[in-house]
Amino acid sequence: MTDGETVRLEVDGPIATITLHRPEALNALTIPMKVELRRAFGTVARDRAIRAVVLTGAGRAFCAGQDLKERQDPAAAPLAVELRERYHPIIRAMRSLDRPIIGAINGVAAGAGASLAFACDLRIAGTSASFVLAFGRIGLVPDSGASWFLPRLVGPAKAAELALLGDTLSAAEAERFGLVARVVPDDTLRAEAMAMAVRLAALAPGALAATKQALERAWSQDLDRTLEDEAYRQGMAGASRDHAEGMAAFLEKRPPRFTGE
Ligand code: T3D
């Protein structure tokens, strides 16, 4: 376990759990916390033994976004600078990580906290989870990727409603819109997220990484380019030992043992 003051990183075999840990402030993001979160993703990126990541919050919230009290400091960096220097590196680290990230959404995800949830590859919600694009309520605009992720995740109409009105999206509604894979009782959320991580960790790491990248790239490409990219990635995957192992396991009617080669 690597303990920052405000972000905890636990590694258990092939699974890393990153916990936002300022429960007294609903895990609102301070500068040290953003630094620790970026560092945690860096540590995960370097540890090739990690095959899946769970991101969650301590206490009753996932993350309430930017710490608005810290923002009162007259010496605070301008908003655009803070975004470019501290938020964007976190979002980019999450999207470029070549392992899947599961958001275990244990309570409210507001503002940039919602953006963190959206930047995960998959989300499971506890029944008490909710999403709120709180930016408009304080005269700000969606940031940290929220305006990029949300229309892609829930469609443009629902995204406009959530972003413009700032309405709270409950866990049940989030499931209906496909934003979360499923909703589970709060007290089983960690276990359910871990079970999903265990499933992911048993899959071929190279194929998972390429799938994550393919899904991301396809959003901004036309069909022809995507077909070509698929052919390229499939050529690479097809030449891997893991593909041979997957085929052998299928023919021998046994579970595969993927090594990432
Ligand atoms: O650098 C930059 O500023 C640019 C980046 C901006 C990105 C952003 O994230 S902007 C959006 C920032 N977030 C918000 O506007 C959300 C503010 N919080 C809320 O709207 C509500 O707290 C929630 C809807 C999240 C939850 O409501 P509720 O009723 O469950 O809890 P609460 O009573 O409001 O909050 C509990 C405590 O957490 C409370 O502490 P206290 O006063 O009892 O000691 C509250 O002040 C604290 N807290 C909640 N959110 C924040 C916060 N403290 C600091 N910053 C927060 N964002």
Q: Give the residue from 154, 152, 206, 148 showing the smallest Cα distance to 176.
A: 154
Q: CA–CA separation, 89 vs 99, rounded Å?
A: 17
Handedness of CA 91, 40, 60, 194 (dihedral sign): positive
pLDDT, the chain, mean: 96
pLDDT in tens, 192-231: 999 999 999 999 999 999 999 999 999 889 999 999 999 9
Residue 112 CB–ligand 1 contact under 6 Å = yes
Report the residue among 68, 71, 81, 116 best suited for mutation to probe ligand 1: largest number of ligand atoms under 8 A from its CB. 68
pLDDT at 219: 87
Residue 135 CB–ligand 1 contact under 6 Å = yes
Predicted model pTM: 0.97
